[in-house]
Amino acid sequence: MAQAVVPAMQCRVGVKAAAGRVWSAGRTRTGRGGASPGFKVMAVSTGSTGVVPRLEQLLNMDTTPYTDKVIAEYIWVGGSGIDIRSKSRTISKPVEDPSELPKWNYDGSSTGQAPGEDSEVILYPQAIFKDPFRGGNNVLVICDTYTPQGEPLPTNKRHRAAQIFSDPKVAEQVPWFGIEQEYTLLQKDVNWPLGWPVGGFPGPQGPYYCAVGADKSFGRDISDAHYKACLYAGINISGTNGEVMPGQWEYQVGPSVGIEAGDHIWISRYILERITEQAGVVLTLDPKPIQGDWNGAGCHTNYSTKTMREDGGFEEIKRAILNLSLRHDLHISAYGEGNERRLTGKHETASIGTFSWGVANRGCSIRVGRDTEAKGKGYLEDRRPASNMDPYIVTGLLAETTILWQPSLEAEALAAKKLALKV
C-alpha cells in the first residue's frame, strides 16, 4: 500500500520498465526558492542508483520567467451533490478576482447533471485560491453550475445560499461560521480504515483521540500535508486533530463570513482529495463508515450573528435555538446522506428524531459552550450535520432559520416550554 510521508511525501508506486527493472514514483516536497511550493514527483530506478529527473523537473518547473500564462483549475460539485469534479484551462495572464476568468462548460451527461441530447453545463467562476500543487500564479477556481439559459442547476446549492447571504437582514448580522470537517482514511482496494488490520479491528476507542504514536495515530502525514496546502491556498483553516475512531481526522475552517464558509470547505475538500490521491489512500466522508461501537463522522457547524456576539447575546442564541427546534425535520433532511446511521444518541450524538440543546453537552443537537454561558454572548454549535453535508445548504439554512424565518407566537411559546427556554 502506498504510504504518504510529509514533509518528504513519498508515495511509491511500482511500474515495470521495458528493460525488466522496476521503477517507482515518489512524491516529495520541494523547498527550492523559485520552484513550486507544492509536491514533486521523483522517478527512481530501484535496480540502480540512477535518477530520472525529467518528470520532477517538468512538474516543478517555474514558468513565470517565460510566460504570463497561468493554469486555472475549474472545480465544481457533480451530480451526486458530494462528488468533486475539475478540469484545467490556460489563462493568458495572472488573475486576482474570479470576474477576470471566463465562463466555461463541460459535459453534464457524464456527471449526472444533464441529458445526453442537451449535455452542456456552464461553469461560473465564483472564488479563486492559490494552487498548492502547481504553485506560481496558478489558481484553483470554485465554480457553480448553470444551464446555457442561465438557470442554476438543481445541484447548484451555492446559488440559493448566495441569495440568502445577500439579503440585507442577513448581511447586517454578519453571520460567522466555524466548520469542523471530520473524515476517514481508508486503505486502497480493501476499503478498510487506515492503520486497521485488514478484516480485523484495533483496540477499543479511547487512546486514539488527539493521540501520538505509531500504534495510535494513522495518517498524520496526510493531515499535515493538507493543513499546509490549505494555508498556502488561502483557506481560513484554523486547526486539525486526530479523531476518536482510529484512521479518522478532523480539520476546522473559520471563522468565515457568509458564502465564504461554503467556498472554503469545498476547496479544502478538493485539496484533501488530491493529496489522498497522491498518497494512494482513499478518502471517505461517509457519516458512519464502520458500524458498531465506533464514532461516526460529522461536520459540526459553529454559528453566530452580530447580535449573538454582543453583550446580552445569549438571549439571541436562545431565540435562535427555539427557531431551530421548530424546523428540526427540515434541517435533518438537508444535513447529509446516511446521517440516520450516525445520529443514534450514542457516540457523542443526539437522536435524529429528537431536538435537544444543552451547555457543554456533546450529546445534544445544539451545544452552547461554557464560555458563552459565562460571558452571556458568543455562539452555538449545531452538532447535527453529517461529514458529507453540503456546506452551502447548512450555512444557508442556519442563517435563514435564525434571521429570516419567523415562527408564530404560539409555536414559539410551545417550543420554549418544551425546551425549558426563557426568552
Going by C-alpha positions, the residue among 141, 137, 345 that lies closest to residue 263 is 141
Look up the CATH number of the domain holding residue 82: 3.10.20.70
Q: Is residue 31 in some structural domain?
A: no
Q: How many other β-carbons are positioned within 10 Å of the β-carbon of residue 14?
A: 10
Examine the domain organization and report whether 139 and 236 are in the same domain.
no
* pLDDT tens figures, 292-327: 999 999 999 999 999 999 999 999 999 999 999 999
pLDDT of residue 377: 98
Q: Is residue 254 part of a domain?
A: yes
Question: In this predicted model, which residue has the larger pLDDT, 390 or 24?
Answer: 390
Q: Does any domain span residue 20?
A: no
Indicate the range of 34-43, 386-395, 406-415 predicted with least confidence. Answer: 34-43
Lowest mean pLDDT among 30-39, 45-54, 135-144, 166-175: 30-39
* Helix residue spans in 256-304 (DSSP H): 260-279
CA dist., res. 224 & res. 60, Å (int)? 21
Sign (positive/negative) of CA torsion 336, 385, 238, 310?
positive
pLDDT at position 107 is 97
Find the range with the poorest average confidence among 18-27, 41-50, 145-154.
Answer: 18-27
The pLDDT tens digits for 145-158 are: 999 999 999 999 99
Q: How sure is the predictor about 52, in pLDDT bands with cuts at 50, 70 and 90?
A: low
Same domain (yes/no): 214, 340: yes
Judge whether 161 and 259 are in contact, CB under 8 Å: yes
Residues 258 and 330 reside in one and the same domain: yes
Residues 383 and 335 both lie in one domain: yes
Nearest to 226 by CA among 45, 6, 3, 2: 6
> In the prediction, which pLDDT does 364 show?
96
Do 170 and 245 belong to one domain?
yes
Task: Say which residues have a Cβ less than 8 Å from residue 113's Cβ, sequence separation at least 6.
Answer: 78, 79, 121, 145, 153, 155
The sheet that has 139-146: what strands, in order across it? 84-91, 70-77, 139-146, 120-130, 104-107
CB–CB of 185/247 below 8 Å? yes
Output the average pLDDT for the chain: 89
Question: Which tens digits make up the pLDDT trace of 390-413?
Answer: 999 999 999 999 999 998 888 888
In a domain, 7, yes or no: no
15 occurs within a structural domain? no
Q: Give me the pLDDT at residue 423, please.
A: 57
Contact (Cβ atoms closer than 8 angstroms) between residue 277 and residue 372? no
Q: Is residue 39 part of a domain?
A: no
Check residue 422 and give its pLDDT.
64
Q: pLDDT at residue 3 above 90?
A: no
Question: Residue 166 is placed in which grid cell?
Answer: 445577500
Give domain status of residue 90, yes or no.
Answer: yes
Q: How much is the pLDDT for 47?
A: 45
Provide CB contacts within 8 A for 71, sequence distance 6+.
88, 89, 90, 91, 131, 134, 138, 139
Question: Domain limits at 184?
Answer: 166-421
Q: What is the mean pLDDT of residues 218-235?
A: 98
In terms of domains, do 68 and 207 share one?
no
Domain count, the chain: 2
Selection from 302, 301, 309, 316 nearest residue 375 by Cα: 309
Q: Last residue of a domain, which of 155, 190, 213? A: 155
- pLDDT grade, residue 374 (50/70/90)? very high
Q: Identify the pLDDT of residue 21.
A: 36
- Is residue 37 situated within a structural domain? no
Question: Is residue 209 classed as helix, strand or coil in its secondary structure?
Answer: coil
Q: What is the tens place of the pLDDT at every residue in 327-352?
A: 999 999 999 999 999 999 999 999 99
Tell me the three cell numbers of residue 318: 436562545
Q: Are residues 130 and 174 in the same domain?
A: no
Say how many CA atoms lie within 13 Å of 120 toward its Cβ.
Answer: 7
Q: What is the pLDDT of residues 67-97, one digit of tens each?
A: 999 999 999 999 999 999 999 999 999 999 9
Q: What is the pLDDT of residues 376-385, one digit of tens each?
A: 999 999 999 9
Q: What CATH number has the domain bearing residue 181?
A: 3.30.590.10
pLDDT band at 9 (very low <50, low <70, confident <90, very high): very low
| Separation between Cα atoms, residue 346 and residue 131, nearest integer Å | 40
Mean pLDDT of 357-364: 94
Region at 399 (left for phi over 0; alpha for psi -120 to 50; beta for the rest): alpha
Tell me, yes or no, whether 203 and 233 share the same domain. yes
Residues 185 and 103 occupy one common structural domain:
no
Nearest to 254 by CA among 321, 177, 202, 312: 177
**Average pLDDT for residues 221-241, to the nearest whole number?**
98
- Which three three-digit cell numbers place residue 230? 490549505
Q: What pLDDT score does 18 carry?
A: 39
